[in-house]
Amino acid sequence: MTPEFIFNTLITIIILNFIKDYYLSYLNSKNFDNKIPDVVADVFDKEKYVKSQEYKKTQYNFSKISSLYGLIIILLFFYFDGFLIVDQLSKTFFNSTILVSLCFLGLIYFGNEILSLPFSIYYNFVIEERFGFNKTTFKLFIIDKLKSWLLTILLGGSILGFLIFQFEAIGKNFWITAWIFLGFVTILINGLYSQLIVPIFNKQTKLERGELRTQIENYATKVGFDLSNIFIIDGSKRSTKANAYFSGFGKQKRVTLYDTLINKLSTNQIISVIAHEIGHYKKNHIVFNIIFSIIQSGLMLYLLSILISIPIFSESLGLDKPSFHIGLVCFTILFTPVSEIISLFFNLFSRKFEYEADEFAKKTFDSKYLIEALKILSKDSLSNLTPHSKYVWWYYSHPTLVQRISRL
């Protein structure tokens, strides 16, 4: 293999992945004008369905432009020695190999953030605003960005710094200690996500005593589930879209409900949503996802340890010496086909888990209320009711609304 061959391989993977995404999105767009499914016709009147179709078409047109923009930027970066320029710039700031790598990866990350910022602003303040979803002020948008950047520097920088340090200290076997470390971080973040990460962006308050809390606790007791932590999150300050999620382990486990969810659904409908979330916990789906994530990170680290020191990867991007950051860039792209296959399997299991959680809610509560909740949430978020089957197979982590209702 020559550096030119590696370079062309990287470009080919990037372009083929773009074509795959573009083609599947095109297939999906062909279904936008399909007739409304009979099973949801009772909640989607003609005006609402037309609006949902317009929303899908607007998102599709936006994604075509933004993804093409991203492809052009990365190709220009490759063909005009962007990685070499950033590498040399990083070396003017630092002498330490660890700091050079962190600086390089940081410049790449923030460069991408700045270049994509206009699209993010347009999506939030034009598209989401036009369809009545956006509640984010420009001030809050900027604050959120600054917080996420700071969190990336502190958390992402610390994790990357540890990996690079292990690579420098141990060599190719660094993947073993790095894997143990990443596994620990994965479990910690999953267990304490609501306590550590969420408060940075949102206010959480315990659900007050009243009919809703009493009914939720009665249901939890009935299914043998210790649920004392029920929280409300102020999602309405950013969007009108509603959600609910389960997090934590042991005494730290909690259900978090968006305030928008409480405003949209009745008590029984909310309990049905919680029943679904408890179903995930009872069926050990959360544990499976964590184990799956840890296995995937171990595979990635092992393959990275094999490829990262090969000089030809650095040479393919115009550098004369191998380094962790250049090896990581090449590996990330080369790993894309494997990552796509892993993602397919994950989505397959994820859709299966959603059916199982729905079934749990059906058996322990009442499927009627879950169906009602799914319809309302789908209507209010203008979700795609007629996605193409190939698009669903490749990208969807949840079954479609029609599939879930039919199964229920």
Catalytic: 358?
yes
Number of domains in the chain: 1
* From 277, 315, 354, 380, active-site residue: 277
Domain encompassing residue 93 = 3-200+284-407
Domain for residue 228, yes or no?
Answer: no
Report yes or no on 278 lying in a domain: no
Contact call for residues 351 and 319 (beta carbons, < 8 A): no
Q: Which one from 87, 128, 315, 358 is the annotated catalytic residue?
A: 358
Residue 374 resides in a domain: yes
Our answer to whether residue 277 is catalytic in this structure is yes
Residue 193 lies in a domain: yes
Residue 208 lies in a domain: no
- pTM of the predicted model, to two decimals? 0.89
- Looking only at the bridges linking them, the beta strands covering 230-233 and 254-258 are parallel
For residue 43, tell me if it sits in a domain: yes
Residue for token pair 């005006």: 47
Backbone angles phi, psi at 321, to 5 degrees: -125, 140
**182 is a domain residue:** yes
In a domain, 232, yes or no: no
**360 vs 70: CA distance, rounded Å:** 42
Alpha helices (runs of H) in 38-156, residue ranges in sequence order? 46-79, 82-93, 97-122, 128-130, 138-151
Could you read off the pLDDT tens digit of each residue along the chain, which spans 408 residues?
Answer: 788 999 999 999 999 999 999 999 999 999 999 998 888 888 888 888 889 999 999 999 999 999 999 999 999 999 999 999 999 999 999 989 999 999 999 999 999 999 999 999 999 999 999 999 999 999 999 999 999 999 999 999 999 999 999 998 998 899 999 999 999 998 888 887 888 888 999 999 998 888 999 999 999 999 988 888 889 999 999 999 888 888 877 777 888 899 999 989 999 999 999 999 999 989 999 889 999 999 999 999 999 998 888 888 888 888 888 888 998 999 999 999 999 999 999 999 999 999 999 999 999 998 999 999 999 999 889 899 999 999 999 999 999 999 999 999
